[in-house]
Amino acid sequence: MKYNVDVVRIRENSIQLNGWAIGKTPDAVITYRVEDASRRPVPFQYVATRRDDVSQIYFGRTVERELGFDIQFAYERGRDYYLVICGGKRKIRVKYNEELIRRRSSVAHKRMRKILDLMNMETVRVCMDFWKENGFRALVLKSRHKLQGIDNDYDYAEWYELTKPSEEALEAQRAARFEFMPKFSIVIPVYRTPERYLKEMLDSIEAQTYENWEVCVADGSPAGQSLERVLSRYAARDRRFKYVILGENKGIAGNTNAAMDMATGDFIVLADHDDELTPDALYECARTVTEHPQCDCLYSDEDKLDMDGGALFDPHFKPDFNIDLLRSVNYICHLFVVSHDLVARVGGFRQEFDGAQDYDFIFRCTEQAKEICHIPKVLYHWRCHKDSTASNPQSKLYAFEAGSRAILAHYERVGIEAERVEKGVDYGIYHTVYRIKDRPLVSVIIPNKDHSADLDTCVRALLTRATYKNLEILVVENNSTLPETFAYYEALAKEFPNVRVVRWEREFNYSAINNFGETFARGEYLLFLNNDTELIAPSFIEEMLGLCQRDDVGAVGARLLYQDNTIQHAGVVVGFGGIAGHTFIGLHQAENSYFHRAMSTQDYSAVTAACMMTKKSLFERVGGFSEELAIAFNDIDYCMKVRAAGKLVVYNPYALLYHYESKSRGLEDTPEKVARFNREIRIFADKWPGILRDGDPYYNPNLTLRKSNFALRDLKKEKIGEPYHLEV
């Protein structure tokens, strides 16, 4: 017999235990009882729960038996209690009291528990597959990152308990009144929903602290299988619950539209039939539309709820509106709220996009919205089961094909020319290949001081392996001292007529050197490139140019790897480390990043100029690189100027290069260099105080600024909603 008690909680005067137990076969009978120290029986409540994860790991398949348990019993302080698990001839007694529970809640115990949880055959299988595909070194790195994650101070369930609104806060919300008290119509399509799940959704709405709402349910279950018995009970006790029995399944689009037809509210709230809202969900929505009168479209963060409703996991803390991320993945999803007027303009769900009907609807709403707001709080619990796209994307492959069509339809409406939309790193992650117009000249600007071998690797790869050929390369010579460097320049220019060398003869200043190089550029587009880079993706220029040709885009960055195939750059978050830093540093390229963000095209506040494309006209309009930032943050500053000019900065993971990282300049390792670095920090902070004060809109305030891996914010060191400031 095997067993595990996953969760132990003390709630007021009771102890709650969640876990599982199995015998040698799935049919083995397991029984439970609770005893006191004298082995006398203690009354307890028992609910059997499904544990598909356990059955998959130990039996290699999903079994139709409930292998888990939820046990609750009353306790008195100072007394010992025992959970007795019996299976066949074996009996296990597990002791519980306040002190043991406190000890098991300690960081050390949780760390050991997580390590033990990893020790199973499923982990071995996953490791072997990863090793075969990516090599032993990558497996070691991934394992190290997994073990480092064990040292986090909080798991999400604990973190959520510490950050959710208190009962006092919820009471204050119930008493609050806004100048505008919008009415929310929560539309729910129903089809053969298990009664328990529908009740839990409706109960979560009934528990809202904000009261101006209505529920509109359209039941498309087959005749004789409707949920009218449940729905009529809610409608009888509260007129805000409305429903219609369709008598047939009109598909998720048709069922949702039928629910929308019943809505009379100012705003439409989309909800699935088996999920749950947090008690403060509608209050937070009402507060947002009151504070933003133009807001006609809003969304929140979300997490996942297990099938038993006893565990929360996998929180999705999202950025503010990010159109290029939305074109890569439906990151908005839940909770999504849109004004009734906007729905009337764009129309309801479209049946031809069934499977991605909400994706298509979100595109149409955001295209015409006056203001799109993001509430950086979890307001929605998405129930996750084995056939859900949330947990097993391949189970609904048709949904992702419909999603591809939804993206192409969006491009057609907004006038963007795309060659194709294809599968990205996983199902549900999309890669758009944009059409290149007129094959314009791209001027590649590469500063160099000696290091001719590095430069040759960089340039030769560009001119022999890159698939885009309309290039000119400007090498900005910066005070080289080795005779062989100049001999190399001469040989390079003879071999490749589209290479020119221009001489910068003043002191080192990265901004001034690149500005100087730009004055010689003949191209319509500029590609700033470090001499210690080497292309991996031959089409990286097309990937960047396709984005940069869009009118709304001002700068495009690439995914850069260290020589060991770990990430050096996958976008920049302003605020990391106090000022700005790269995302996902050190993550192996084969590892999954937070919601695949490292492998999703998206908007960021900044990208590194180690490989950055921009329009020459825009570069000149915003004044190029700021020369008072000679060494640090000049590329971040440039991106901030691009955004201030109303243009987007886009990160493209499919533009892939190696970056061998600052070989030519050296470290900030002298008092003079450190003083200069700190001085440039202050210059940047003085120029852009708003984003450092309010936070990066493309990063979520619930995530830490102390690490680059999008981990939960450390509640002991970083308060939610407050930036982390670097002392200099």
Q: Tell me the DSSP string of 475-528.
A: EEEE----HHHHHHHHHHHHH-TTEEEEEE-SS--HHHHHHHHHTT--SSEEEE
| 401 lies in some domain | no
pTM of the model: 0.80
| 728 lies in some domain | no
Same domain? 59 vs 181: no
630 Cβ contact list (under 8 Å, min separation 6): 508, 509, 510, 511, 512, 676, 680
| Lookup result for tokens 């003083």 | 675
What is the pLDDT confidence band of residue 133, given thresholds at 50, 70 and 90? low
On whether the CB atoms of residues 378 and 160 are closer than 8 A, the answer is yes
| 6 lies in some domain | yes
Domain that holds residue 495: 442-694
Same domain? 351 vs 468: no
450 Cβ contact list (under 8 Å, min separation 6): 480, 481, 482, 485, 664
Same domain? 309 vs 193: yes
CATH number at residue 473: 3.90.550.60
Same domain? 593 vs 662: yes
CATH number at residue 65: 2.60.40.10
pLDDT at residue number 14: 79
CATH number at residue 172: 3.90.550.10
> pLDDT tens-digit profile of 494-522?
999 999 999 999 999 999 999 999 999 99
What is the 8-class DSSP label of residue 703?
B
Strands (E), 575-647: 580-582, 602-603, 611-615
CA 75 – CA 173 distance, rounded (Å): 33
Same domain? 193 vs 93: no
Q: Which of 340-344, 404-408, 504-508 has the lowest mean pLDDT?
A: 504-508
**Residue 138 pLDDT exceeds 90:** no
Chain centroid to CA 319 = 8
What's the first-to-final CA gap in the chain, in angstroms?
58
> For the packed helices 52-59 and 121-134, what is the interaxial angle rounded to 10 degrees?
70
What is the pLDDT confidence band of residue 47, given thresholds at 50, 70 and 90? confident
SS3 127: helix
Rounded to an integer, the average pLDDT of 584-604 is 91
> For the packed helices 251-261 and 357-368, what is the interaxial angle rounded to 10 degrees?
50
**End of a domain among 75, 105, 135?**
105
Same domain? 248 vs 344: yes
On whether the CB atoms of residues 712 and 155 are closer than 8 A, the answer is no
Task: Please state the domain count of the chain.
Answer: 3
What is the pLDDT confidence band of residue 223, given thresholds at 50, 70 and 90? confident
CA 529 – CA 442 distance, rounded (Å): 12
SS3 124: helix
